Amino acid sequence: MISHKIPGFQRVSSAVLPLLLVATLLCAMASAQKTAHADGYRVVHTYPHDADAFTQGLIYLDGHLYESTGRNGKSSIRKVDLTTGKMLQHYDLAQQYFGEGLTNWGDDLVQLTWQAHLGFVYDRATFKWKRSFEYAGEGWGLTQDGKQLILSDGTPVLRFLDPQSFAETKRLSVTDEKGQPLVNINELEYIHGEIYANIWETDQIVRISPKTGKVVGRIDLTGIIDKNTLSDPNAVLNGIAYDAKRDRIFVTGKLWPKLFEIKIVAGR
C-alpha cells in the first residue's frame, strides 16, 4: 500500500487521497466564490430619463448630467436636468458616427465614437465642436483620473491617453477575482480612486484597481428596474455618473425611462 504524508495526517491510503483532493478543490472553489461576492444597492431617489436615449456615456458636473447617446442617426451629446430629465442643450452627431463614452477635461467634453476611430472635443458651455482626435480600435467607455483619460474598448485592456495629445501612455490588463481576463468592459467612471465599469449585457458594475487592473469589488444591480417594461433587448444597464461634491452615484441604462441615485450596500 502506497502512503503519502499530508499535514495533519500521518498515513493516508491511496484510496482516500482522491477524496481529500476533491475536498480540497471544493474548499478552494468555495473560497473563490466567497471572494467574488457582490455588494448590493439601495435606491435613494428615482429620476426620469429619456427612454429614447441610447446611453453610452454619463457624467455629472455642476448640478447637471451630461450624456453621450449612440446609434447612427441618433447619436448626440446632451446637457440634462437631473430632477426633470429634461434635455437643456444638445449637439447631434453626423449620421455616420455612433456616439460612445464621454468625460470632461477642463472646460471641455471629450466623446468617443464606436468604430470610426475618432473622438471629438467640445466646449462644455456652448457644445461647440473644437477638434477631433484619432485612436486605434473601438471606443466604448471613457473617464479620467485627473491626470489621464481612460478608455475601454470591450476587451480586457484599458488604455490611458494623454488628455492634450491623446497619445496612448500605457495599458492596463483587467482580471477578475479568479485572475481571468475580464471582457465587455463598457461605460466607465472614476470614483474614490477606483475605476467603476459597466459590464455589457449584465446587471453588474465592477470596481477595478487602476494600479493592478484587478477587480476589487462588484455591485449587483439586479432588480433595479422592471425589465418587463423594457421592450428593446438592447436596453441594458449602462451609465455611471458621480457627484463628487455630495458623494452621490447615479446609474441608468440604454433606453431606460429611469435614472437612479444609489447607495452601495456592503455584501455579506
Q: pLDDT by residue (tens digit) across 75-87? A: 999 999 999 999 9
Kindly report, residue by residue over 16-42, the tens digit of the pLDDT. Answer: 444 444 444 444 444 334 345 899 999
Asked if 97 and 193 sit in the same domain, the reply is: yes
For position 227, which CATH number holds? 2.130.10.10
**Same domain, yes or no: 223 and 104:** yes
Same domain, 22 and 111: no
> Do 245 and 233 reside in the same domain of the chain?
yes
What's the CA gap between 148 and 44, in Å, rounded? 31
Of 76, 118, 121, 72, the closest CA to residue 96 belongs to 72
Q: Percent of the chain at pLDDT above 70?
A: 86
- Mean pLDDT score of the chain: 89
pLDDT value of residue 21: 44
Residues 47 and 68 in one domain: yes
Same domain, 172 and 141: yes
Residues 199 and 82 in one domain: yes
Over the stretch 254-267, which tens digit does the pLDDT of each residue have? 999 999 999 999 98
Taking a C-beta distance cutoff of 8 angstroms, is the pair 187, 141 a contact?
yes
Task: Using the predicted structure, report yes or no on whether residue 1 has a pLDDT greater than 70.
Answer: no
Distance CA 252, CA 246 (A): 19
Instruction: Kindly tell me if the per-residue pLDDT of 110 is higher than 50.
Output: yes
Please provide residue 28's backbone torsions phi and psi, each rounded to the nearest 5 degrees: -65, -40
For the cut 80, the answer to whether the pLDDT of residue 186 exceeds it is yes
Fill in the DSSP letter of residue 214. B
Does one domain contain both 118 and 230? yes
DSSP state of 247: T
Whether 116 and 180 map to the same domain: the answer is yes
Indicate if 13 and 67 belong to the same structural domain: no
Count how many Cα atoms sit within 13 Å of the Cα of residue 85 in the half-sphere of its side chain: 15
Q: Which domain holds residue 80?
A: 38-265
Where are the strands (E) in 135-265, listed by range?
142-144, 149-151, 157-161, 168-173, 185-191, 194-199, 204-208, 215-220, 237-243, 248-253, 258-265
Q: How many domains does the chain have?
A: 2
What amino acid is encoded at 235 in this protein? Answer: A
Report the C-alpha dihedral over residues 206, 108, 61, 74, rounded to 10 degrees: -70
Clarify whether residues 118 and 220 are in a common domain. Answer: yes
Residues 146, 79, single domain; the answer is yes
| Whole-angstrom distance, CA of residue 31 vs CA of residue 85 | 44
